[in-house]
Structure 1
């Protein structure tokens, strides 16, 4: 069981109620990150980023991420074509496709003409 508490003098006050008998011995683990002053924390962060080993690790991480992004772009281009192909593609508005599919009509007049032809075919 893990519970949180706040130290006040020699007493640790629990943040939440727990169901254990009074007098039960407990062990306390101190989160030492909370013991750092803001200045100490800032110094630790600066030391991390100024360490040559850590900088090399960060450079390796950046290289790995760049490789993964390149692989992702390659896969997207494989399925969807390159960005250049998409940009140079057909720039017609979507409304220009109305009536262009087989069995569809571009205008109401075309529909009327088709219906007239069908009716004429029935009468003959």
Structure 2
């Protein structure tokens, strides 16, 4: 497995957060949108603001669901891979970094043993290079 593959969970979490923000923005817009029913036609084009917003919300919900499913797939895949590693320290480092999404300096602090950000990073990259 490569560092890029291991990092996918991080990027999926970012995508999910972004989609949730977009969904909330659209819901806020939808709450402020009113429909005026006068019985009189106006405008030359067809413009259904509420309908368009509802369609956008449905699209984002569907995309969000797919991203969440992909997150669980990647989470399970990474967990299985990391659990198969023989070296306990590498397993701990990878779990903290790629599953719990900690920064390298936090990983070093949590692992302890006078490890630094660079030392835990190098340990993982050396392990990956051997694979």
Which of the two has greater strand per residue? Answer: 1
Looking at CA atoms only, which structure, 1 or 2, has the larger radius of gyration? Answer: 1
Which of the two has greater helix per residue? Answer: 2
Whether these two folds match at TM > 0.5 is: no
Greater RCO, 1 or 2 (C-alpha within 8 Å, sep 6+): 2
Q: What TM-score do the two structures reach when normalised by structure 2?
A: 0.26
Q: What TM-score do the two structures reach when normalised by structure 1?
A: 0.27
